[in-house]
Amino acid sequence: MHAYRSHTCADLTKDQVGDTVRLAGWVHRIRDHGGVLFIDLRDHYGMTQVLCDPDSPVFAQVEKVRSEWCIRIDGTVKARAESLVNPKLPTGEIEVYIRDIEVLGEAQELPLIVFGDQEYPEETRLKYRYLDLRREAMQKSMTLRSDVVSSIRRRMWDKGFREYQTPIITASSPEGARDFLVPSRLHPGKFYALPQAPQQFKQLIMVSGFDKYFQIAPCFRDEDPRADRSPTDFYQLDMEMSFVEQQDVFDTVAPVIAGVFEEFGGGKSVDAPETWPQIPYAEAALKYGTDKPDLRNPIEMQVVSEHFAGSGFAIFAKLLEQEGTEIRAIPAPGGGSRKFCDRMNAWAQKEGLPGMGYIFWRDQGEGMEAAGPLAKNIGPERTEAIRQQLGLGVGDAAFFLGGKPASFQRIAGKARDVLGQELKLIDPNRFAFAWIVDFPIYEKDEETGEVDFEHNPFSMPQGGMEALQGDPLKVLGFQYDLACNGYELVSGAIRNHKPEVMLKAFEIAGYGEDEVKNRFGALYNAFHYGAPPHGGCAAGIDRMVMLLAETANIREVIMFPMNQRAEDLMMNAPSDPSSDQLMELSLRVIPQD
């Protein structure tokens, strides 16, 4: 017999009754029933009930066992009485009578309990992550993650892609976040960078003549933390293709993503890829207040400025006299009560707004009446025109925000989400996808007036060189994101593969020719040697698994995550370097005040 086990804790059934078996695992729970000790023995695969009574030669040893001790037992498989069968366990029809035991590893008093669903502070869970990971929910999440990655790989290979690895130590590249820098010992005063993404390398792979590339790629970004984003590193499905247009990329990656969600989505409906809408960025910003809309929510915002211009509501009327301002309405079907409207107004105030104007429509017996402060100020004709434009009726409401769109768009999108949740308009059993397209390549800093890249700097502008001769803020790129249930899952672009267009694109963003050649020399030079048209995308593995695991915290699906302050509490990182390490790297740490 094997030194540690003949079966896992999920293997045994009535077919093994009478057999002598060997099991190994952790003591999940101990129960004393009238002198008979019952132990739920757990391993990665499942649970088996083992028992010991005073007639066993090792009863005294079993009495000493405590929770989370790692043990090996030998015993005889017995059938449970029919009334004692546990249908929730694959091994629920049997139990194992212990005849021998070996303690493989004792456990001290536990800082967190593995058994049950007790809540612990995240700091405790991350410090003792190896214990936290023993919990059933965490075992399921990590297994899910592994299975998702395996499924993605199979699906990409089936589509004719091959996996190639790109460097981890490389040069700094502007990808929209801060780099993690790595000092060079051999070249004092110079630094490598951990890659924010394999962007340049995967483009160079296309220039090298490899038609289809993918990689489950680690990416490193020194970012501020969010619940749906790791502050240090993450993994993505990175892919690139040659001789393709935007739709070719969509047609390739959409079935992969949809297939994974169908396979691991727990029976939730998945919109068919051919039905995924392609929504221009400007339209998404207007209707949903975000470039990652949750399309399970049917609410769409509309511009209603004309109904407030010159109206009796002075705040909006005066606002509209300023250039670039508008009033948007957020319909709220089913929200037509003063109590609900006041509650949403209070929510807006907690978000830092003075409040949200609102109108709601109620039945007064002799017909429908518009109510609320706005309705009184603008009069029945304007309120009726608003109602008809929004397609609302009795029992419905609308909320209003105004100003320059950039100043209120984010909060409007958040309000839309809150309304959808509060009014139970969102189908929790659906994955709704949408391609967001036609992103602007450039944006202007409101304070400095400087123009910089709004999105990926390596994207092909729609219209090529000609498009770059006019107003840069009107230049759209062949850039696209895939949104699902309010999260960005995929981001990509058709790449700029022409050196003269590349130079012009960076020039508009303030990068001189010498700087482009210095920072992106490999890519720039490669484009002079027959670069093919190419494009691709990257899909966030962590975020996909987060959605599939039905959690809003990405740390729940990462094996060993950092906390929100980018600290590894288990490994005590970041840590202070030794004097010898600093000297070897020709570095000196400047104390912070």
Q: What would the mean pLDDT of 502-508 be, rounded to a whole number? A: 94
Question: Is residue 231 located within the same domain as residue 157?
Answer: yes
Centroid of chain to Cα 361: 38
72: helix, strand or coil: strand
Query: How far, in Å, are 79, 97, 295 from residue 72 at the CA level?
Result: 21, 13, 52
Question: Is residue 302 located within the same domain as residue 422?
Answer: yes
Q: Which of 167-181, 260-274, 494-508, 551-565 has the lowest mean pLDDT?
A: 167-181
pTM: 0.93
Q: Is residue 114 a part of any domain in this protein?
A: no
For residue 156, give the amino acid letter.
M
Q: Whole-angstrom Cα distance, residue 494 to residue 480?
A: 9
pLDDT tens digits along 249-300: 999 999 999 999 999 999 999 999 999 999 999 999 999 999 999 999 999 9
Q: Whole-angstrom Cα distance, residue 376 to residue 378?
A: 6
Question: Is residue 206 located within the same domain as residue 162?
Answer: yes
Structure confidence at residue 174 as a pLDDT band (50, 70, 90) = low
Question: Is residue 86 located within the same domain as residue 169?
Answer: no
Q: Is residue 439 a part of any domain in this protein?
A: no
pLDDT for the residue 68: 97
Res. 25: pLDDT tops 70: yes
Question: Is residue 365 located within the same domain as residue 326?
Answer: yes
Question: Is residue 215 located within the same domain as residue 320?
Answer: no
pLDDT tens digits along 349-397: 999 888 899 999 998 877 789 999 899 999 999 999 999 999 999 999 9
Alpha helices in 439-549 (DSSP H): 464-467, 499-508, 513-519, 521-526, 541-548
Q: Is residue 113 a part of any domain in this protein?
A: no
Question: What's 101's domain CATH number?
Answer: 2.40.50.140
Q: Which of 426, 443, 474 is the last residue of a domain?
A: 426
Q: Is residue 360 a part of any domain in this protein?
A: yes
Q: If you average pLDDT over every residue of the chain, what do you get?
A: 94
Question: Is residue 336 located within the same domain as residue 248?
Answer: no
pLDDT for the residue 514: 92
Q: Is residue 8 a part of any domain in this protein?
A: no
Question: Is residue 20 located within the same domain as residue 88?
Answer: yes
Domain that holds residue 335: 297-426
Question: Is residue 407 located within the same domain as residue 478?
Answer: no
Q: Is residue 381 a part of any domain in this protein?
A: yes
> Residue 277 is encoded by which pair of tokens?
């809408």
Q: Is residue 534 a part of any domain in this protein?
A: yes
Res. 230: pLDDT tops 90: no
Relative to beta strand 368-371, strand 357-363 is antiparallel
Question: Is residue 463 located within the same domain as residue 526?
Answer: yes
Q: Whole-angstrom Cα distance, residue 256 to residue 277?
A: 17
Q: What is the DSSP letter of 412?
A: H
pLDDT for the residue 118: 86
Q: Which of 15-24, 41-50, 223-232 has the lowest mean pLDDT?
A: 223-232
Question: What's 390's domain CATH number?
Answer: 3.30.1360.30
Give the start-end residues of each E strand in 289-429: 302-303, 326-332, 357-363, 368-371, 397-403
- Higher-confidence position of 177 and 201: 201
pLDDT for the residue 404: 92
Q: What would the mean pLDDT of 329-335 be, rounded to a whole number? A: 97
Q: Is residue 521 a part of any domain in this protein?
A: yes
For residue 519, give the amino acid letter.
R
Question: What's 473's domain CATH number?
Answer: 3.30.930.10
Question: Is residue 465 located within the same domain as residue 542?
Answer: yes
Check: CB of residue 201 under 8 Å from CB of residue 213: no
> Residue 344 is encoded by which pair of tokens?
């949403």
Question: Is residue 403 located within the same domain as residue 492?
Answer: no
Residue with tokens 């670069």: 531
Q: What is the domain count for the chain?
A: 3
